[in-house]
Amino acid sequence: ELRGTLYDRIGPEALRSLLERFYARVAETPELAEVFPGSRDSSLWATTLEKQFAFMSGFLGGPPLYHQRYGNPMLRARHLPFAVTPDRAHTWLACMQAALQATPEIDHDTAAELYMALSRVAQHMVNSSES
């Protein structure tokens, strides 16, 4: 890849803007928001965003902040307490698609690559067949 890692192409500032837009959308989508701790205490959205920022930093080829702060992500295991249904995975990805479209700092090709990578992870997180 001539233009480097997705992290190099996006950068920490645009990544943070993307995730702010993403969790704002998640928070206003009740059937998805209800599984997040922020739905019970809205101050917890900030923690959720920080963890996701740390994870994505490493996932996109940048500094492995999640590993440094919290250890091995074991993402599927960490999602087991939450009912990730196919509908919720689909809605998670729709929120991400909308957040990408609202983040012009991320060019279209980069956004498409990021979306494809996240679709695979989201499918892997499905752990429940009913809401």
Binding residues for ligand HEM, per CB under 6 A? 35-37, 44, 47-48, 51-52, 55, 70, 73, 75, 78-79, 82, 84, 88-89, 92, 118, 121-122, 125
Choose between 2 and 57: whose C-beta lies nearer to ligand HEM. 57
Choose between 11 and 120: whose C-beta lies nearer to ligand HEM. 120
Choose between 89 and 111: whose C-beta lies nearer to ligand HEM. 89
Q: How near is the Cβ of 84 to ligand HEM at its closest, in Å?
A: 5
Contact indicator for 95, 25 with CB cutoff of 8 Å: yes
Q: How near is the Cβ of 2 to ligand HEM at its closest, in Å?
A: 25
130: alpha, beta or left, given left = phi > 0 and alpha = psi -120 to 50?
A: beta
Task: Give just the sign of the alpha carbon dihedral 87, 90, 96, 97.
Answer: negative
Length of the chain: 131
Q: How near is the Cβ of 125 to ligand HEM at its closest, in Å?
A: 4
Q: How near is the Cβ of 12 to ligand HEM at its closest, in Å?
A: 16
Cα separation, 60 vs 109, whole angstroms: 15
Q: Which residues contact 10 (CB under 8 A, 6 or more apart)?
A: 18, 60, 105, 106, 110, 114
Choose between 82 and 102: whose C-beta lies nearer to ligand HEM. 82
